[in-house]
Amino acid sequence: MAATVFYLDEVPEPGATAVLDGPEGRHAATVRRIRVGEPITLSDGHGVLAESEVVAAQKDRLELKVLNRRIADPATPQVTVVQALPKSDRSELAVELMTEAGADAIVPWQASRCVSNWEAKARKGVEKWRAAAKQAARQSRRAYIPDVAELHTTRELLDLVRTAKANGAIVAALHESGAGRFTELPFTGVREVVLIVGPEGGLDDSEVDALADAGADIVLLGPTVLRTSTAAAVALGALGALTPRW
């Protein structure tokens, strides 16, 4: 079994001593009860992976000898998930699931039918999503922590779609009105995919029209209607089987 992954802002070179403190150190030493001699994989969350061994342990920090260091290849294609804000009790679950399923970037979106409204608390909401993404990345032992963008309005989302399309990306808005299927999109050779997931109440007709006008493909993900908190993870699983990601 691979060693547990913990994150540092900067991972030292092989032979050096790394110090894991702060929230990561407390979690490792107090919650996971990691002791001297145990292996830990260190990462900066941006692709660096380093095998290390604990050489000293205190209640809120570990000291580790770095044994080796490498750069993990990023997934291809890169996947950005635009997630309309779920209800508060499922919001962070959506981030955890899509992170574990391999999302490379996450964009929170204030869609018109969202029950949640972040207008007065966008910073707090984004911080919670970033923390959830980091925790899920550790759980799934990822070398890359997904970037969580600032809250997007529909106008900002349409700009994102146009830019992505101009750069050759596939942009798929998952919706029951789609004439085609997600699995039928031409993923071969594509370097970037943008998945757009609507809220519990679904995409508004005007949003569907605006996304299509901006270049998005309106597609069916599968034969059933999924919760907004699980749709991205299911789409990422399908994409993993359809592309070199898996």
pLDDT at 20 over 60: yes
Q: What is the average pLDDT value for the chain, to the nearest integer? A: 94
CATH 3.40.1280.10 residue ranges of the chain are: 78-242
Residue with tokens 């996947």: 79
CATH 2.40.240.20 residue ranges of the chain are: 5-71
Contacts of 200 (CB under 8 A, 6+ apart): 86, 87, 113, 115, 227, 228
The architecture CATH gives domain 5-71: Beta Barrel (2.40)
CATH topology (fold) of 78-242: Alpha/beta knot (3.40.1280)
pLDDT tens, 32-91? 889 999 999 999 999 999 999 999 998 889 999 999 999 999 999 999 999 999 998 899
pTM (two decimals): 0.93
Identify the band that residue 2 occupies on the pLDDT scale cut at 50, 70 and 90: low
